[in-house]
Amino acid sequence: MLYQMNPNTNAPAVSSKNRTLNWYYGNNRSVFVSNCTFRMGGAAVLLSNRPSDRCRSKYQLIHTVRTHKGVDDRSYGCVFLEEEEKEEVGVAMSKDVMAVAGEALLTNIRTHKPLVLPMSEELLFFATLVVRKIFKMKIKPYIPDFKLAFEHFCIQSCDLVQLWDRLKFNLVTVTLCSALVVFLGTLNFMTRPRNVYLVDFSCYKPKPDVMCPEELFMERSKQAGIFTEENLAFQKKILERSGLGQKTYLPESLLRVPAEPSMAEARKEAEMVMFGAIDELLAKTGVKAKDIGILVVNCSLFNPTPSLSSMIVNHYKLGENVMSYNLGGMGCSAGLISIDLAEQLLQVNPNSYALVVSTENITLNWYFGNNRSMLVSNCIFRMGGAAVLLSNRSSDQRCSKYQLIHTVRTHKGADERSYGCVFQEEDDDKKDVGVALSKDLMAVAGEALKTNITTLGPLVLPMSEQLQFFVTLVARKTLKMKIKPYMPDFKLAFEHFCIHAGGRAVLDEIEKNLELSQWHMEPSRMTLYRFGNTSSSSLWYELAYSEAKGRIKKGDKAWQIAFGSGFKCNSAVWRALRTINPAKEKNPWMDEIHEFPVEVPKF
């Protein structure tokens, strides 16, 4: 689908299965099966939509059909990553897996069949159905001959003999699906490109009983009995200089004595944060869960089986045809990557709602070692999450808050220093896993930001700023004049700035480089102070702050900037479709917005 919006593009697709950390060392027979059948392997596929590549290409993609059965509890739990008595983690396979696979295959083929079978097979199937249903004749259901449609079959390795016996077809479903495909295809070509609207968003606010002031943080760190005195002092110093306040939140499992991180507790945190944000969003918008056609979830460090997106499909009983995506390992900038992905999917799926959920899971990613570069993340990352509802329905423009104007993505992963500046690995003792932050992080972030705004600038800056930048560039590069590079005034393009609250140093650097005022930086600094670094969701807490302050007026433009591992810098530009009335808003700031801004001590 992304190809529909990106002409003349090559896209490598890589599929692999990592076995190293997923070998099961327990005695649960339902988990043993994966040890016996799964092996190391991988494949890379190069796709292209360039006409010039036709002559050297092997195949052309004709159809893709996706089926998601996660709405059914039996289907959702038949392949499940879990702990065995809170010791060994493995993927348990239920005895229902064959029956569930058969039902999923049946649903998939009901959609696929009318796209590929010849008319003779369709008519024969129809005649048999009439004889059985109308004349009540007891004859065997006719199974269409798919060998007439395909010369070759590539079926994922498993025992599919039982699956084939389960195939049945429903004429009404086939007819409706065929009509729907034709209708959507016609509408797609008639209405592109489509505007994408942000109907509303919500940010999760945990309960007060999981609040973690600095004193409690240090007390729990001492009670863990793991950290050296030097590293306890180091963490206290980081906390004092981080810009975090006394009301940030940590998962309940980490506040217990002793801490109890586990797969079950991580799932509990994920459900609490994601469902809390989504429940509030659906209540605010009045949109029914079954009307959501696209789901994109991003969480960098917690990727269980079934996925977090499947967790949402199962809990809210989303449709079997929902297009769900689960983005992992993409860092704090993944929220805007999710927005960009949802926007491109909405371009080719008319009259659709897209739900974007951004979060980070703390429970299983707390570092219990003494590597200082990994201890920093303990000090600044906190629990939080956000849910965003996007729409491409023209009827939603009147009730939506914002319209998406631009997304710009920058990836510096080709550079080794950039790739390794935020890196998850085992510490020097090879005992504990943590995320190491390199000393090059600020320099890498600056380079990524420079590249990103070089692309974004011409799209948003007034011509006067672009000309001044061009003249300065010519003077420096062509005439070799030793003058300071000109930094365009982005305050002429945007009224509001939502900069990822990654830490005080990040915000200080961006404030300096973009020459922003304290007023412009206030949403980011107050978000860091009140909620800490909530990873990819922090941008939405910042926008919520501006709304709670009554700053968003109709026509205003907001610039969201996020940084993440890889290394990535991503931007999104929104235009307010209406003036936001704080009195009518429900967001995590509303009951305490009168207390902000506060003075954050400087060191």
Give alpha helix (H) positions in 532-573: 538-548
The continuous run of DSSP H or E covering 201 comes out as: strand 197-203
Read off the amino acid at residue 222: K
Residue 480 backbone phi and psi in degrees, to 5: 60, 30
Residue with the two structure tokens 């060191």: 603
Beta bridge partners of 465: none
Collapsed DSSP state (helix, strand, coil) of residue 20: coil
332 is catalytic: yes
Omega before residue 306 within 30° of 0, cis: yes
Q: Before 206, cis peptide (omega within 30)? A: no
Task: Kindly tell me the number of DSSP H helices and DSSP E strands found in the chain.
Answer: 19, 15
Cβ neighbours of residue 509 closer than 8 Å, sequence gap 6 or more: 442, 445, 446
Q: What DSSP assignment string belongs to 305-345?
A: SS-HHHHHHHHHT--TT-EEEEE-S-GGGHHHHHHHHHHHH
Answer yes or no: 371 catalytic: no
DSSP 457-514: HHHHS-HHHHHHHHHHHHHHHTS----PPP---GGGT-SEEEE----HHHHHHHHHHH
Which residues lie closer than 8 Å to 24 by C-beta, 6 or more apart? 31, 32, 34, 35, 88, 89, 90, 91
Q: Which of 365, 392, 533, 587 is catalytic?
A: 533
Contact 564/332 with Cβ under 8 angstroms?
Answer: yes
For residues 323 and 349, is the Cβ–Cβ distance under 8 A? yes
CA 144, CA 148: separation in Å to the nearest integer? Answer: 9
| Residue 344 · residue 337 · CB < 8 Å | no
Residue 425 phi, psi (nearest 5): -160, 175
Q: Does residue 496 carry a catalytic annotation?
A: yes
28 in catalytic set = no
Residue 379 known to be catalytic: no
Helix (H, G, I), strand (E, B) or coil at 434: strand
172, two tokens:
């009404």
Residue among 68, 112, 315, 496 flagged as catalytic: 496
Question: Quick check: 262 and 326 in contact, CB under 8 A?
Answer: no
Please list, in sequence order, all residues whose beta carbon lies within 8 angstroms of the beta carbon of residue 5, skipping any fewer than 6 positions away: 344, 347, 348
Determine the residue type at 340. D
Q: Is the alpha carbon torsion for 330, 336, 339, 344 positive or negative? A: negative
Strands 323-327 and 292-298 turn out to be parallel
Tokens of 196: 């994408």
Measured CA to CA, the distance from residue 513 to residue 488 in angstroms comes to 10
Sign of CA dihedral 356, 359, 364, 365: positive
Give whole-number Cα distances, 466 to 191, 457, 483, 573, in Å. 33, 8, 17, 18
Residue of 68, 411, 520, 587 marked catalytic: 411
Exactly one of 299, 332, 421, 498 is catalytic; name it: 332
Which of 500, 520, 569, 587 does the annotation list as catalytic?
Answer: 500
Residue with tokens 């010039």: 52
Question: Which residues are designated catalytic?
Answer: 332, 411, 496, 500, 533
